[in-house]
Structure 1
Amino acid sequence: MQDAIAGADTVVFAIWLDDMREMIPRVRPLLDGKVVIDPSNPIAFDETGRIVRSLPDGQSAGSVAAALLPGGAHYVKAFGTLAAEVLAANAKRTPQRAALFYATDDEIAAATVERLIRAAGFDAVKAGGLAAAGRIEAPGGDLHQFGFNGEVVDLDQARAAVGSAHP
């Protein structure tokens, strides 16, 4: 893993948030100067198996992950707004491409993730800076697939939703 991170320009931590909390400190020095993409959501399961938030209201997985990174890392929250099977089924959708949201305060991270989102067959829509990360996380985010009642949105719908007030 360390060799892979050392040789990469961009790192995607496609792991549970709790695992990320353990892993990032172990590889932190290797992340300096890298674009770090975080698709995590603050989810856990209660005793009945129901999905619940693993963080207090007002705190996002994005804020937790970003705080673990070295100052020179380029952080972006992306690729976590659609369930994996929905992501696969909607890549390169026609006639209107599906939209994927991202959140970052970093221009380098934004340019990188927009290129990757387009290459994956989606339109990229910035939800805002790191403070907007919670909007694209589940449960509770209004710009997450579940915030749209499972609907996958196109570019126009996504742009309209970003402009609307968070409930």
Structure 2
Amino acid sequence: MNFGTIGAGVVAQAIARHLITAGHRVTLSNSRGPSTLDEVVATLGPSASAGTVDDAAAADMVFLTVMWPNVPAALADLPSWGGRILVDATNQFANLDPVEVAALGDQTGSERVATLAPEARVVKAFNTLHAKYIAADPRHPAGRQVLFYAGDDTAAKTTFHEVTDGLGFAPVDVGALRDGGRLMQVGGGPLSALHALKQD
């Protein structure tokens, strides 16, 4: 599989590093253009490349890691997703200082993302973990880092499970985007910021 990131910050680089270590190729992108990612790509190694957002979005599995207010612009005007997998790693923080959670009515954040990326198979994941836990080796003497995920497409979730299990995480399916997403999202979700290990 080919992988891409929309956003190239700490979370995107951490996920990319795990994928590259496992032997995959990753195209990173941001809103400022590929030339601004030369140093990041050089640090990640030859299996990483910089591209436009369109380039990254053409991958088989794409990780969305931008700040919540930037999500609409990041997903705007992209070609049809055609059933490719979009992993939503965002949290719906409207503001960080002071902290303010965006009001979405009865929608979860990933349901909103799905409306902005028609024909994408959306999987919610990585948003419950602090960046340092994403970046660290998920394999620990006491067990593997639990990675909660949710989605409405069974095949997409199976693929995501296989990929992240191969990276060393212990992926745990918590249901559909609505019910599972509510468990995972900031502002009251009981799985938000829950860091746990699973013994094999």
Q: What TM-score results when the alignment is normalised by the length of structure 1?
A: 0.77
Q: Which amino acid aligns with 2:66?
A: I
**Which among 31, 41, 52 is matched to residue 100 of structure 2?**
52
Kept in 2, the 8 Å contact 1:35–1:108? The answer is no
Deviation at 1:19, TM superposition (A): 1.4
Over the aligned positions, Cα root-mean-square deviation in angstroms equals 2.0
Secondary structure (helix, strand or coil) at the match of 1:70 reads coil
Unpaired runs of at least 5, structure 1:
157-167
Residue 104 (structure 1) aligns with? 151
Deviation at 1:11, TM superposition (A): 0.9
Secondary structure (helix, strand or coil) at the match of 1:135 reads helix
Task: Say if 2:189 is the partner of 1:141.
Answer: yes
Alignment of 1:16-165 (within 5 A): 16-29=67-80, 31-45=81-95, 49-56=97-104, 58-71=106-119, 73-89=120-136, 91-131=138-178, 132-145=180-193, 148=194, 152-155=195-198
Q: Which has the higher strand share?
A: 2
Separation in structure 2 between the aligned mates of residue 110 and residue 80 of structure 1, nearest angstrom: 16
Unpaired runs of at least 5, structure 2:
1-51
Q: Which amino acid aligns with 1:104?
A: G
Secondary structure (helix, strand or coil) at the match of 2:171 reads strand
Kept in 1, the 8 Å contact 2:68–2:94? The answer is no
Q: Which has the higher helix share?
A: 1
Secondary structure (helix, strand or coil) at the match of 1:98 reads strand
Number of matched residues?
146
Structure 2 CA distance for partners of 1:56 and 1:10, relative to 1, 3 Å: closer
Q: Which amino acid aligns with 2:63?
A: V
Separation in structure 2 between the aligned mates of residue 155 and residue 139 of structure 1, nearest angstrom: 25
Deviation at 1:90, TM superposition (A): 5.2
Residue 4 (structure 1) aligns with? 56
Q: Which 4+ stretches in 1 moved above 4 angstroms?
A: none
Kept in 2, the 8 Å contact 1:42–1:54? The answer is yes
Separation in structure 2 between the aligned mates of residue 60 and residue 4 of structure 1, nearest angstrom: 25
Structure 2 CA distance for partners of 1:101 and 1:3, relative to 1, 3 Å: same
1:25-65, CA deviations, whole angstroms, 9 ceiling, x for partnerless residues?
31142x2221110001111336xx23221124643211110
Residue 13 (structure 1) aligns with? 64
Deviation at 1:24, TM superposition (A): 1.4
Higher relative contact order (CA 8 A, sep 6+): 1
